[in-house]
Amino acid sequence: MEGERRTRVRALAAEERWIEAKELLETSAEADRDIEWIALAAEIEAGLGEHDRALELYTRVLDERPRHPAALYNRALVLIETRDFEAAVSDLEELVEVEGEHEDTLSVLAEAYLGAQFLVPAWLCARRWESIAEDGGDRWSARILAARSLAEMGRREEASTLLDEAIQLSSEPGEERSEAIAYRDELLRPSATDASDE
């Protein structure tokens, strides 16, 4: 019965039917003691926007199993949502130690680095993400993030060149390519500080 209930709760969570998932989870006798139930409860609380409760539950999981991959990844997502980028970086770097480099992890880690203003790691991580991305849209997202990192370092011209080279080499249509073109054009426009320097 518990196995069926857990499967049903997971299915509801996957469909983002958070309230129903929480109600069903709360009927489980194991929900407050079993680590996997607690991790699932944390995911549901995050889905409901209850960030403090989600963080509390993920921390319980990680106190018992410090290298729990799903808890590390999902807690990092909540930390990013609450703008605690440095803590998110810590969880994601630990996750890379546990599972190695995966596209999903690198994409979130690059964003967390950028949010924390760890600009060189953000750029390096974005380039690494780009090199292993299988989807064209993900490669464009990685290039844009790498360019944003360079621009934040004050290297707007290099950021523009990075995007320009990618635009010229690729004819992959899509929203991400259009976003790269728009961002490249924005980088080429003189900034307010450039105008005041003249």
Could you report the per-residue pLDDT of 160-193, keeping only the tens digit for each?
A: 998 888 888 776 667 777 888 888 888 888 764 5
Q: 145 near 122, Cβ under 8 Å?
A: yes
Q: 25 near 41, Cβ under 8 Å?
A: yes
d(CA 162, CA 149): 11
Higher pLDDT, 31 or 125: 125
Q: What would the two tokens of residue 65 be?
A: 């199993």
- Residues of the chain above pLDDT 90, percent: 65
